Amino acid sequence: MNILPRGAVKIGTVVSNKAKKTAVIRIDRVKKIGKYKRYAREHSKIHAHVPDGMEVNVGDVVKVGETRRISKTKSWIILESISGKKEVNKGKAGGKK
């Protein structure tokens, strides 16, 4: 099965790899709220196809590319694994300690 990426390319963290040939990727981003001149953190989760010969684990940082629809929920494919584990920032968005 040769699936070529086309369209958007994003970087995210693997949060689940329980399904067969599928991984759930969390995409974190920062959104500017113009009215308040502040920033808010948002995230979304996408289902991505894991190609044959590639293995990803929970916590891996991966690059995913948009492709044709593979199933009802999958229209992304994992292109490469960037790093083994991602350092998680435990701070709150916009708050003071």
3-class SS at 13?
Answer: strand
pLDDT at 92 over 60: no
pLDDT at 7 over 50: yes
- Dihedral of CA atoms 24, 28, 34, 37 in degrees, nearest 10, equals 150
Tracing tokens 């891996």 back to the chain, one arrives at 60
Half-sphere exposure of 30 (CA within 13 A, CB side): 7
Cβ pair 12, 61 in contact under 8 A? yes
**Structural domains for the chain:** 9-83 (2.40.50.1000)
Cβ pair 15, 25 in contact under 8 A? yes
Q: Tens digits of per-residue pLDDT, 45-88?
A: 999 999 999 999 999 999 999 999 999 999 999 999 998 654 44
The whole-model pTM stands at 0.78
CA 66: distance to chain centroid? 11
Distance between CA atoms of residues 8 and 5, nearest Å: 8
